[in-house]
Structure 1
Amino acid sequence: MADAHAHTDHSGASHGSVGSYLTGFVISVLLTVAAFGIVMAHSFSPSGTIAAIAILAAVQIVVHLVFFLHMNTSSEQRWNVMAFVFTVLTVFILIVGTLFIMHDTSINMMSR
């Protein structure tokens, strides 16, 4: 029985509870159903539908980060949050830069 606590995590990170995982799962399913409902009901214009789905996707990303990856603002999670922000910033720069280069190339190719 001396080995009972051998598998505990000493980093202070929480692994969540069953209730936390179920809450995240239910919210994720509701957000997915809402996105399908918006598309199937044709209740918005095409640009409104895209905007609504983008908003629901952003909320779903936050739900996954909080309920499944257990990211929060605690001091134990500071490096994880900083790494995530760096990743998001890098992806944003990559996407915006690619779109800029493609647009600029398209403009320059059309003028000849």
Structure 2
Amino acid sequence: YAHIKRLNQIRRAVPALQKAPMSHFSEWGSGMCFVRDHNKGESYAVVGLAAGSGQDICVSGVLNGVYKDAVTGNVINVSNGSISFHVKGCSAGVWVLNGPGKIGSDGEFLK
């Protein structure tokens, strides 16, 4: 249950994950992605999920700026309205605009 605890830590730290509507939704065989925008960019997250295998994810039409992944701590600077990232199998990418960076500790499913 460590992964559920970590997901809850991430959700508590990012208002967009708590109460924002979902947009830019896309789903395919081994993954999905979506955007959560709270209060017109006040809290903004691009989320990618990977099932059994790693996934390369690209989401267009996003806000420009510095995104930090709440799972890995990696940083991406978006200047063209498009964000691309890789998510390991059985994991997630939670890219938060002007976010805090890595939240919680790696486990079996979120790494």
The bucket for the TM-score relative to the shorter chain is: under 0.3
TM-score, normalised by the number of residues in structure 1: 0.24
Quick check: which has more Rg, 1 or 2?
A: 1
Which structure has more strand as a fraction of its residues? 2
